[in-house]
Every structure is written in C-alpha cells, then in structure tokens.
Chain A
Amino acid sequence: MPLLEIRNVTRRFGALTAIDNVTLAIEAGEFFTLLGPSGCGKTTLLRMIAGFDAPDAGSIWLDGRDLADKPPEQRPVHTVFQSYALFPHMSVARNVAFPLQMAKKPPGEIAEKVKQALSEVHLEDKGASYPHELSGGQKQRVALARALVTRPRMLLLDEPLGALDAKLREQMEIELISLQRDVGITFVFVTHAQPEALALSHRIAVMRDGRVEQMDTPSRLYGFPANRFVADFIGNCNMLPATVSEATPHGLRLAVRALGEVAAPPAERARSGQQGVLALRPEQVHIVAANTAHELKNHFAGRVRDFLYIGDVTTYVVELKNGTRIEALLANSAPGRARFFEVDEPVKVAWRHDAGVFLVD
C-alpha cells in the first residue's frame, strides 16, 4: 500500500482549475518531487496534503485513511515553508521544541530530541540563538530540524531552496539527500527548478495547468520525455520538426524538411505520415569540422552561429541549411582552450540513430 494516495483530486478557484483530476501515489521512504512552472498547481496540491486547503472533488489518503476531516494540526505531516516561518520570538531550541510541546512530550524527552534534531542539521551550538541572528542556510536547517523532530510520516517542502544563492543551494541539496536517507522519512518536494528536481528526487511528477504531464524517475524523464512540454521543461532540448516516413518496431525513418532523412528510435504512437519533432539533447549531438568524414548516418552540414562557454563545456549553436538551429555540447577537455570552432565556420552535426525521442504533435 502506498503511503500517500491522491485520488482524482480537483481544486477550483473561481474560474481557474488549479488542480485538474490528479491521481498519484507516493511510496514510504520516497523523495518525491512535484515539478512545474509557477501556477501549475504544485503548491496547491502541497497545501491540500498539509490540510490548509481541501479538494473540491476527490480524496487524499495517508496510510490507508482518508484525511478529509483531519485539520492540519492532526495530520502526521509537517511542512518546511518557503519563507521558513521560524517563530521570531523563540530561540532556535524553542522553535525546534514547539512541535514536541504541542504533542505534550515530557520535558526530559523534549530536551533530548531537540539536541538530536539540531545535531542532525549540524546546528548543535545554535540552540540559544534567535532566528534573526542566523544566515539563510542556517534558518533553512532550523526549519528542517523543527519539521523533522517529531518524526512525521511525511515531510512537505515548499520551494525550500528558493531563497538561497546558487553555491549554498547545491550544498543544501547534498545535505537534503543525506538527511532524507538518514531519517528515512518520505519527502514531498515542490520546486520549479528542474536541476534541483533531477538532483534530489527518486521520482518526479511534472505538472502543468493543474495536471500531471509525466511521472517517472529523473533519468527516464530526461531520457524519454512523454511530450514536448516535458522535453522542453526538463533540461535543454533541440526540437527538430520532422514527418514519419516509415515506422517499424525497430526504428523510425523521419523526413526533415529541406534536409533529408534521419533514423530515430522506435516510438509507440508514431505512424507513417505523422508530424512531430525529434527531441535531441545537446550532449547527444556531435559537432565536427565540415570536411570530416563521419561514421554516424544521421548528419547534416551547418554553420556555427553562436557559442556559449560555460567552463566545463561549450554549447555551440549550429544553423542547418533549412534554418533550424541545433545546439551541440562539447566538453572542454583540452586545457585553456575555450572553443574548437569559430562563429560562421562550416561544421557538421551528427547523432546516433538510437538517440533522441520522436514526439508526435
């Protein structure tokens, strides 16, 4: 039995349908992420799990029990809020003790558990500090300790890393992963930042306009996006418009306008004559000098239009003969060399016949 089940939940705000008939199940011990652009309904869904909002239709089940008439304070689910929501008039230790006091634990047990929770987030020596004396990362940890100290069945995290700078965010991501593994509590994480979702999650539900577009592990979402939205939202993706000329169980032949034919891996729904796009990740696209003979069958000539030097890699934007732009990634393994090709240089782009995903329009 899954720990949490969301069954056909719908939530409307006036004319807006914030959550549109969503069904999903989260297993115990999972790090589950609700990922989507702002306004996709992910926070609404989180608030309904916490109990701050109620579905207009459908039901939410935890441990096989319907949560409908349980107010937030009676749900074994705690939230880490985006603004942390630490009580400013209480010391760190008293903030962490709060849920234990509400659960009427004896003082001895409270002291012990507060100490343990603070050491879990590496803040042993900050118990007497006040929230305004802490850095953003420290506040974040206090919020985590406070939400985890009673060992809830589930921890909800509402864009908790949004307010941190990039370096700190990466560090907190690593800490979140090890914290979740150590305490073994199910995390439901809400974010609009796809790198965060990919790095942290066991499974991700990609949401748009109140619906779940695709739900899978990070690597399958990245490798096999179900539609254009997911392909575009997760990572960078080249979209090469094409028509199916032949579909077999072993692969597809696609006609690309003004360029010729390419081979692509099989796609279940693709039928001959259908329009769509071949979604190719930039790192799947090889870039070589124009005069190089290439062993890959899928290759086209083009010119470098732009490049973006990131440090470890450089992204080249190559314009094909028909005007389509393709991004190709090249690792900068040679030291001190920022680029291998110049703007306007004629080049060739190529990719394996089993690379990419054909997405039917």
Chain B
Amino acid sequence: MAVPRAERLTKWLIAGPPLAFLLAFFLLPSLIMALASLRYPGEFGGLAPLAARAGEEGGLTLENYVLFFGDWIYAQIFAKSLGIAALTTFVCLVMAYPLALLIARSPKKRRDFMVLLVILPFASNFLVRVYAWMIILGPMDLLFTRFAVIVGMVYVHLPFMILPLYTNLEKHDPALLDAAQDLGANAWHTFWRVTFPLSLPGVFSGSALVFIPVLGMFAIPELLGGKGDWMVGNMIKEAFLGTRDWPFGSMLSLMLTLAVLAIAGAAALFARRGARDA
C-alpha cells in the first residue's frame, strides 16, 4: 500500500496549487457574489451592512430576483445576448473550419507558420483592434449597428475556433479518407460521414471558447454597437460602474454564470446522446 499512497501524495502535490488558487480566487468570490446578490446596495455604492440599523435598509432580500423575473426586458436582453453569441459562434465555425482543414492538410513544415499567422492578431491590444474596426466601419456607415457588433465579435474570437479545430483535424488518420473514397464515397460524403463527425470534439471545444466569452462581452457592443445592442455584459458593467448597484450587478452575473452552465450541460448531454446514436 506504500506505493499508492506515494502516488496519491504526488497527485495532490501536482493538483494542489491550482486547486487552491481556484478555490481562493474563483469559488470564494463566486460565493461572495451570490451572497451580494441577496443584499441591499449601499447608499453611495457598494453594499449596505448585513445587520440593518434603524431607519436604514439592511439584511437579505430577494428584491433583485423579483425585479429580474418580473420584467420582460431582462429576459429579452439575455435572449438577445444568447442570439448574438450563437450567431458569432456559427459564423466563426463556418469561417474557421475550411481554414483549419487547410492548415491540417498542409505539409508539416508550413503548418506551424500558418498557426503563427492565426495567433498573430493577439500581438496587438484587444481594444486597439476594436478601435481599428471603428475606423474601418465608420466611413462605411456600418458603425453602431448589430452588423458591426457581429463583425467585431467574430474578428476577435476567430482564433479561438481555429486552434481547437486544427488540433483535432491534424490528428485524423489520412488512411480513413482513403478508405472512405475507396469504398465509394465522393468528397461530399467523405467530409460529412467521416471528417466532420470525427471533428465534433474540436467543434464543441471551439464553440465553447467562442460562445462563453461572447455572451459576457461588453466592450465590443459598447464601442461598435448602438443602443439596441446592449448585452448582458453591458448591463452588468452599468450596474457596477454606472448606477453603482452592486447587488443588482451580482445578481446579473450569477444569472449569466447559471445560463452558461445550463447551456454547457445541455450541450454535454446532447453530445453524449449523439455519440451513442452514431
């Protein structure tokens, strides 16, 4: 039994630091946030004290949740955010797939260079790139439109779709394509019956890497979008920095996290069922 114990110790030593980090800086803040969503806002921002003093608001309340579920506007903004995230993910997928396939099927020497080109935009600052789009779209009368928001979202997130797709496609055994063709499949069938189904793990991880950040994004709709393009992220930002209503912002953040978890759970369930039926 000495060996397994040593192994277990090694595992804890390796997994320990990141685990502790996540507990301290993700789980704990999330709990603080969840609690904050149940509190009253302070008079000048921040939070009101938990123990109410005479004549002042304090303690816990479900007021924010009543507000959220009582007014259609919040559901609409959530739905709009989901729509923008879904559209961005889809456009990224359609644009990234051919490119990822091209890179994966290029000679090995050229692949690394092409991957470098894909991540090259990261070398310049995110905001600089968004401002660049303002300069491009402004003269075309496309600035402050939904279109501009989607363009900006796709531009910023495209590499996050290309890289997981490429990593997946690169691992495909080329003999499978030969086999499909040999057994009577044309290029269309070879793609949809062999390449695409085998790339689904890459499609899922790429989609998650695009969909989730887009859902919470506030800078791009704020800079490139119009008033009608407000997303959940903009509401959260406004709650914390504009109206200084921290509990309301906390509630929105929590709802956003829950929405992402619900969608990820549904996707995992769907993927598992898909794999079983295949």
Contact = CB atoms under 8 A, between A and B. Distances in A.
A185 B197 CA distance: 32
Contacts of B197: 89
A146 B180 CA distance: 11
B184 A81 contact: no
Contact of B184 (A87, A90, A94, A102): A102
Contacts of A88: 198
Nearest to A52: B178
Given A52-B178, A85-B173, A73 B186 contact: yes
B77 interface: no
A90 B194 CA distance: 9
Contact of B179 (A51, A87, A150): A87
B66 interface: no
A86 B198 CA distance: 12
B179 A81 contact: yes
Contacts of A102: 183-185, 189
A143 to B, nearest CB: 9
A98 B193 contact: yes
Contacts of A51: 182
Nearest to A88: B198
A74 B182 CA distance: 8
Interface in A114-131: none
B198 A99 contact: no
A85 B178 CA distance: 8
A111 to B, nearest CB: 17
Contacts of B182: 50-52, 72-73, 77-79
B123 to A, nearest CB: 37
A298 interface: no
B176 interface: yes
Interface string B167-178: 000000101101
A195 interface: no
Contact of A87 (B176, B178, B275): B176
A132 to B, nearest CB: 13
Interface centre among A77, A81, A87, A146 (most CB of B within 10 A): A87
B107 to A, nearest CB: 15
A87 B190 CA distance: 11
B185 A83 contact: no
Contacts of B178: 52, 72, 79, 81, 85
A147 interface: yes
Nearest to B190: A73
Interface in B189-225: 189, 193-194, 197-198
Contacts, number: 60
A79 B184 CA distance: 11
A295 B194 CA distance: 69
A74 B173 CA distance: 22
A103 interface: yes
Contacts of A147: 183
Contacts of A73: 181-186
B179 A85 contact: yes
Interface string A56-80: 0000000000000001111001110
B278 interface: yes
A7 to B, nearest CB: 23
A72 B181 contact: yes
Given A85-B179, A88-B198, A99 B173 contact: no
A60 to B, nearest CB: 15
B184 A89 contact: no
A72 B197 CA distance: 22
Contacts of B198: 88-89
B173 to A, nearest CB: 7
A89 B178 CA distance: 16
Nearest to B187: A73
A78 B183 contact: yes
Contact of A90 (B173, B186, B278): B278
B185 A79 contact: no
Nearest to B193: A98
Interface string B137-181: 000000000000000000000000000000000000101101111
Nearest to A103: B184
Nearest to B278: A89
A241 B181 CA distance: 51
A85 B176 contact: yes
A79 B179 CA distance: 7
B40 to A, nearest CB: 54
Interface centre among A72, A147, A150 (most CB of B within 10 A): A72
A73 B184 CA distance: 4
Nearest to B200: A89
B194 A87 contact: yes
A102 B187 CA distance: 12
Given A81-B175, A85-B173, A98-B193, A71 B181 contact: yes
A170 B181 CA distance: 30
Nearest to B176: A85
B261 to A, nearest CB: 28
A73 B187 CA distance: 9
Interface of A: 50-52, 71-74, 77-79, 81, 83, 85-90, 94, 98-99, 102-103, 146-147, 150
25 contacts: A50-B182, A51-B182, A52-B178, A52-B181, A71-B181, A73-B184, A73-B185, A73-B186, A79-B182, A81-B175, A83-B173, A83-B175, A85-B173, A85-B179, A87-B179, A87-B180, A87-B194, A88-B198, A98-B193, A99-B184, A102-B185, A146-B183, A147-B183, A150-B183, A150-B184
Name the 6 nearest CB pairs between A and B, nearest first: A102-B184, A85-B179, A99-B183, A85-B175, A72-B181, A79-B182
Interface of B: 173, 175-176, 178-186, 189, 193-194, 197-198, 275, 278
Given A81-B179, A89-B198, A90-B278, 5 more contacts: A72-B182, A77-B182, A85-B178, A87-B193, A94-B278
